[in-house]
Amino acid sequence: MDSKHGADSGPSSSRSATSTRKHHRNKHESGHHEENATETDSFWYQSLQTPPPSNFTPGMILLLKKALLNSHSRGKTRRAVLCFDRTVYVSGQSWDAGWGCGYRNFLMSCSALMDQHFQPMYFPLLDSPISPSVRQLQWWLEVAWSSGFDVQGAAQLSPLVDSKKWIGVSDLYTAFSSRGIPCELVDFNYKQSFRGNNALMEWIVDYFLPPTEIRRPTNLTEALMNPSVTCTEKMPIILQDGWHSRTVVGYEEISDSTVNLLVFDPSRRPRSKIRKAALDITDAASARVEDELLHDALKLFRYKLFKNIFGKQWQILYFPMTEPLTEYQMEKRKFVTSTWA
């Protein structure tokens, strides 16, 4: 992919994505020699009246909130902030194992973007003429490339349709931009710095909780009015760590001031009891969940980042929730750019 960036921007994420793509193409394109698993390629979001597919789980944010409140009551969790609560957890399946994480994170983002009401025009842009799914995202990208988006990415990945080629957040930037959905890439490249994960964690905390809201309570009244676990209207973000990507749905500060990310990892599939608890909460928010199950659910979602890691590189894709892109803005986004944190 070509890069274009101004004085306040960092190197395009395309550079790191290029080498990662090559690794995954070598690793996974040989998959056609293996026995193919049955493909059940579908998409679902919570406003649909049909039951969710077996790898789509609504209610996970509400279950996570309940688990965090339980942890807070036990003195473990000090504070937690979560994204839009209608975000659906989408797990991978056997047929896309090893290469499908980017596609599944895309579907999790779409489940939120198509169910929110702040930018109602996002829905028709995402739903038509080709609605989301794993294979249809491959069509999205082919159509975008044929329109002049991300020439270098097209050279690396096309033909993509019906393949097992891994894609990264820079490819999702192209897919969303080509449909008029505003999104942004941020690079955290600390190969030459011990700052490591600290900048990433600070960015994520600021994203989910703006600085004006971070101020700690100064008296008991403020403390009582300050909820320990908050669901926001923020969209989830996609976090890429070289070869794998996850959907970040919030963060948790525990009693020793350590901060954990809260993630939906498409490579992990929740146990049937956890999934059932989430579905029950979707039907009735007051549904009772056993403490042990809440503990297990929180373990599934927690992702610990160690501070002061040397040589770590991360990329983020997030949605600023601004008006749909104009034709002029879409034209500019044919070149993939990112800011450098």
Using left for φ > 0, alpha for ψ between -120 and 50, and beta otherwise, residue 37 falls in beta
Contacts of 113 (CB under 8 A, 6+ apart): 119, 122, 123, 126, 181, 235, 319
CA distance 264 to 138: 22
Pairing status of strand 312-318 against strand 259-264:
unpaired
Biggest CA–CA distance in the chain, Å, is 65
Vertex 246, ends 300 and 167: CA angle to 5°?
145
| Torsional sign, CA 65, 68, 70, 72 | negative
**Residue that has been written with the tokens 């038509």 in this structure:** 128
Place of tokens 């096309």: 158
Residues recognised as catalytic: 101, 244, 265
- Cis status, amide bond into 129, omega within 30 of 0: yes
Both structure tokens of 178 = 């080509």
**Contact between 13 and 315 (Cβ < 8 Å):** yes
- Asked if 187 and 11 touch (Cβ cutoff 8 Å), the reply is yes
Name the DSSP letter for residue 256.
Answer: T
Contacts of 4 (CB under 8 A, 6+ apart): 12, 335, 337
